[in-house]
């Protein structure tokens, strides 16, 4: 899987702050036109059902007209944050997706990413990862 950017030890304290950060990075990387519109898309998606999974992992994603091209971020948080998850765990790994409004390929991307993240070896390697390169290798 190709990621737009991998970020290590990001100092984020809340889900709200996380969503703003995700949108800002996607805007800087020219994946989205409007960071504000993308934050709205993330919040709208999150209001349907939480994108928090298990074992400290979340996959927030947004689909809106502001998305110029598909994008994916990995963010390893310095300190885990409260984020509604299936096992009530705090989240420390975030896999964020930006999806163009008229696209349906995100379902395959979400499925493939979720399947990879269910592998014990993948989660163990994430815990050991210290660098951007370490994380990129896990998903190569």
Residue 62's DSSP bridge partners are: 98
Average pLDDT of the segment spanning 57-81:
96
pLDDT of residue 79: 96
Average pLDDT of the segment spanning 120-136:
95
pTM: 0.94
Domain that holds residue 27: 5-138
pLDDT of residue 1: 77
pLDDT of residue 17: 98
Count of structural domains, the chain: 1
Give the span between the Cα atoms of 92 and 107, in whole angstroms: 23
Q: At what angle do helices 35-48 and 15-28 cross, to 10 degrees?
A: 140
The active-site residue, picked from 45, 61, 63, 76, is 61
pLDDT of residue 32: 97
pLDDT of residue 85: 94
Structure tokens at 60: 């927030």
Say which CATH number the domain at 106 has: 3.40.930.10
CB 94 within 8 A of CB 73: yes
pLDDT of residue 106: 66
Q: Taking the CA of residue 34 as centre, how many other CA atoms within 13 Å lie in the half-sphere pointing to its CB?
A: 11
pLDDT of residue 84: 93
- Render pLDDT for 4-53 as a digit per residue (tens, 0 to 9): 999 999 999 999 999 999 999 999 999 999 999 999 999 999 999 999 99
- Render pLDDT for 95-123 as a digit per residue (tens, 0 to 9): 999 999 987 776 788 888 999 999 999 99
Average pLDDT of the segment spanning 118-138:
94
Nearest CA to 41 among 66, 76, 24, 73?
A: 66
Does residue 61 carry a catalytic annotation? yes
Q: Which helix (H) or strand (E) holds 117?
A: helix 106-118
């Amino acid at each position: 899987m190709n990621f737009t950017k991998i970020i290590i030890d990001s100092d984020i304290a809340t889900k709200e702050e996380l969503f703003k950060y995700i949108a800002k990075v996607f805007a800087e990387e020219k994946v989205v036109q409007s960071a504000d519109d993308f934050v709205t898309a993330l919040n709208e998606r999150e209001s349907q059902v939480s994108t928090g999974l298990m074992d400290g992992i979340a996959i927030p994603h947004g689909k809106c007209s502001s998305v110029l091209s598909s994008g994916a971020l990995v963010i390893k948080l310095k300190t885990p944050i409260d984020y509604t998850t299936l096992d009530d765990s705090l989240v420390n790994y975030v896999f964020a997706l930006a999806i163009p409004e008229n696209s349906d390929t995100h379902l395959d991307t979400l499925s493939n990413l979720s399947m990879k993240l269910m592998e014990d070896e993948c989660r163990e390697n994430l815990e050991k990862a210290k660098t951007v390169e370490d994380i990129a290798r896990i998903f190569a």
